[in-house]
């Protein structure tokens, strides 16, 4: 079966002049369109440019860019060169970037102009990097201008033989310590994601996938791979608000939209308070809304189905270690099971086990395990973590779940203390470590509390040193200056931090006590 880059080549042969991608920036009245042939040729230019720079098979190439058509061109170009593509989160700090550079051993980089300053601040601290291509017109002398470098390269496909089972991409997701954790995927993993998505949602050539979430995430891009199989077009929307989403569906005739919980929530609130009106848009083309990346409140979906009767709804469970979404899948025919994450996805297996590895029956809570062709190759340079996660072909997800009498899986809790806010992970230890740097702080715990819009938000419980007078604003300002924006606690409570006899924070009790921003249990 063909690889992801070969799917692009096939579409260029079969549908050369058909639209592949549309990019929108509504506030700038910006619209860019590209055909399959143009996308294929531009990806070839990137691959040829990298090879000419000295990129060799299995070299790591970092890409740090905002969502755009160019993002996808660079992604496919790196894959075609035989190198590993290393997409970085656009929320990463310069420190995060430095860490990822060192762990990956990247020799080459392609960066958006928004990240030039961040890279430049730590340039003297990373070694071994031989070439950086940057978008924009102004950059340090050690960087080369992306467009002028790429434009001089041939549009023919480079002769690089790629085997399906070889590694091709390194995705950084945070581990329980808060430091980004590298996940190594293969060409077969990416192909599995495409096939699984197509099997679940049956994309057609006529579909237009409205692509909104960050492309560095395995979620939305892997969902779009289903459209890649059929040659259906996609629209990248760069400015997210309820009007822009509905207007994009209306004007571009969007048929599939994958949303995060906050965006679905915002659309419903805007409809309910009259800021937008459904009758102002022709949404008859919109056949499927699916949602994921975090727990989905059943009440939200019930409101959605009332607001958009007749529209298909679906949800998927996934994780980067399983090549993104789809290892567990609800299915559009199972809306009566809203609240469940579903059953094993296409070509996937699942089971729920006890601590001793024994498979559990109906209604019993245990750890969710998945197995399939999408399971990662390894945690890169971390054999201990790999051995913990991969056992006998099964991926241990770290998520606690149970199964009902019909075989549908429900998430109960997470083994890890990850807080998922608006689809982004926050790991409490990283935030706790930052706050611990304040001299006035004796102890700190960071937990997630429910939020109607974002799913969860992070709050900090801080125990001040005797006589200290550090304020909530001072702590939050410190976090803003030292952490990525989405990791900053929304509220600080001053209280004792309970720990058990082994020194571990008793977070279940804290979550029960601080259920809301006013601290009321």
List, as one string, the DSSP characters of 336-355: GGBTB-BEE-TTEEEEEE-T
CATH class of the domain comprising 420-513 = alpha beta
Domain ranges, ordered by start, for the chain: 4-379, 420-513
Average pLDDT on 4-14 reads 97
Can you read off the two tokens belonging to residue 49?
A: 């440019």
Residue range 204-231, pLDDT digits in tens: 999 999 999 899 988 888 999 999 999 9
| pLDDT band at 423; cut points 50, 70, 90 | confident
Rounded Cα gap, residues 86 and 78, in angstroms? 9
Distance CA 475, CA 421 (A): 20
Rounded Cα–Cα distance for residues 36 and 18 (Å): 6
Q: Which has the higher per-residue pLDDT, 428 or 11?
A: 11
Mean pLDDT for the chain overall: 92
**Span 245-295, pLDDT tens digits:** 999 999 999 999 999 888 898 899 899 889 999 999 999 999 999 987 766
Tens of pLDDT along 313-349?
Answer: 999 999 999 998 899 999 999 999 998 999 999 999 9
Strand partners, 208: 233
Strands lying side by side in the sheet with 233-237: 30-35, 19-25, 233-237, 208-211, 256-259, 288-291, 312-319, 324-329, 343-344
Residue 131 · residue 139 · CB < 8 Å: no
Categorize the per-residue pLDDT at 360 as very low, low, confident or very high, splitting at 50, 70 and 90: very high
> Which among 167, 168, 159, 187 has a CA at the least distance from the CA of 51?
159
Q: Which tens digits make up the pLDDT trace of 83-100?
A: 999 999 988 889 999 999
Element (H, E) at 30: strand 30-35
299-314 pLDDT per residue, tens: 789 899 999 999 999 9
**Residue, of 1 and 18, whose pLDDT is higher:** 18
Look at residues 114, 34, 41 and name the one whose alpha carbon lies nearest to residue 77: 41
Of 219-223, 378-382, 483-487, minimum mean pLDDT range: 219-223
For 4-379, which CATH superfamily applies? ANL, N-terminal domain (3.40.50.12780)
**Arithmetic mean of pLDDT, 362-369:** 92
The whole-number pLDDT of residue 516 equals 76
| Greatest extent of the chain over all pairs of C-alpha atoms, in Å | 73
The answer to whether 221 and 324 are in contact (CB under 8 A) is: yes
pTM of the predicted structure, to 2 decimals: 0.85
For the stretch 126-164, pLDDT in tens is 888 999 999 998 999 999 999 999 999 999 999 998 999
Taking residues 397-413, what's their average pLDDT? 88
**By percentage, how much of the chain surpasses pLDDT 90?**
73
Phi-psi region of 310 (alpha: psi -120 to 50; beta: other; left: phi over 0): left
Q: Cα(first)–Cα(last) distance of the chain, in Å? A: 55
pLDDT band, very low/low/confident/very high, at 465 (cuts 50, 70, 90): confident
Q: How confident is the model at residue 177 (pLDDT cuts 50, 70, 90)?
A: very low
* Dihedral pair phi/psi, residue 436, rounded to 5°: -60, -20
- Phi/psi at 173 (5° precision): -125, 155
Confidence tier at 180 by pLDDT (50, 70, 90): confident
Query: Is residue 235's pLDDT more than 90?
Result: yes
pLDDT at 503 over 70: no
For residues 390-408, average pLDDT? 93
- Which is higher by pLDDT, 521 or 380? 380
Q: 421-438 burial by CB neighbour count: b if 16+ within 10 A, else e?
A: bbbbbbbbebbbbbbeeb
Confidence of residue 418 (pLDDT cuts 50, 70, 90): confident
């Amino acid at each position: 079966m063909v690889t992801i880059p070969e799917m692009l080549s096939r579409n260029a042969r079969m549908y050369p002049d058909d639209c592949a991608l549309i990019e929108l920036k509504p506030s700038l009245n910006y619209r860019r369109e590209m055909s399959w042939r143009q996308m294929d040729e531009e990806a070839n230019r990137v691959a040829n440019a990298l090879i000419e720079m000295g990129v060799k098979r299995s070299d790591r190439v970092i890409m740090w860019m905002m969502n755009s058509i160019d993002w996808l061109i660079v992604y496919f170009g790196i894959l075609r060169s035989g190198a590993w593509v290393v997409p970085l989160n656009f929320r990463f700090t310069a420190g995060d970037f430095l860490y990822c550079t060192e762990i990956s051993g990247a020799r080459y980089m392609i960066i958006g102009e928004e990240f030039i300053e961040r890279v430049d601040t730590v340039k003297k601290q990373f070694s071994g990097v031989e070439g950086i291509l940057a978008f924009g017109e102004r950059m340090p002398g050690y960087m080369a201008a992306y467009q002028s470098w790429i434009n001089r390269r041939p549009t023919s496909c480079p002769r690089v033989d790629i085997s399906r089972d070889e590694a091709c991409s390194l995705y950084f997701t945070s581990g329980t310590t808060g430091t980004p954790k590298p996940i190594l995927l293969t060409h077969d993993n990416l192909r599995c994601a495409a096939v699984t998505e197509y099997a679940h949602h049956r994309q057609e050539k006529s579909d237009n996938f409205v692509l909104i979430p960050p492309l560095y995430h395995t979620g939305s891009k892997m969902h779009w791979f289903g459209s890649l199989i059929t040659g259906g077009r996609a629209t990248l929307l760069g400015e997210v608000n309820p009007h822009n989403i509905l207007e994009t569906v209306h004007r571009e005739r969007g048929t599939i939209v994958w949303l995060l919980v906050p965006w679905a929530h915002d659309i419903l609130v805007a409809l309910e308070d009259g800021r937008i009106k459904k009758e102002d848009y022709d949404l008859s083309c919109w056949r499927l809304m699916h949602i994921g990346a975090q727990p989905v409140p059943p009440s939200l979906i019930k409101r959605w189905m009332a607001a958009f009767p007749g529209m298909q709804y679906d949800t998927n469970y996934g994780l980067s270690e399983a090549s993104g979404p789809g290892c567990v899948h609800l299915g559009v025919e199972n809306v009566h099971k809203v609240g469940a994450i579903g059953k094993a996805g296409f070509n996937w297996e699942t089971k729920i086990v006890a601590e001793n590895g024994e498979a559990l029956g109906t209604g019993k809570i245990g750890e969710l395990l998945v197995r399939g062709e999408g399971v990662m190759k390894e945690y890169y340079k971390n054999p201990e973590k790999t051995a913990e996660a991969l056992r006998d072909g099964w991926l241990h997800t770290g998520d606690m779940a149970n199964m009902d009498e019909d075989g549908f899986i429900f998430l109960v809790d997470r083994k890890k203390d990850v807080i998922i806010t608006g689809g982004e992970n926050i790991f409490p230890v990283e935030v706790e470590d930052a706050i611990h740097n304040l001299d006035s702080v004796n102890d700190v715990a960071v937990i997630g509390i429910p939020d109607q819009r974002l799913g969860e938000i992070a709050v900090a419980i801080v125990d001040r040193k005797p006589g200290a007078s550090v304020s909530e604003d001072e702590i939050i300002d410190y976090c803003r200056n030292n952490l990525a924006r989405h990791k900053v606690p929304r509220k600080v409570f001053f209280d004792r931090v309970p720990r058990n006899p082994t020194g571990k924070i008793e977070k279940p009790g804290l979550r029960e006590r601080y259920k809301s921003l006013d601290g009321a249990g």
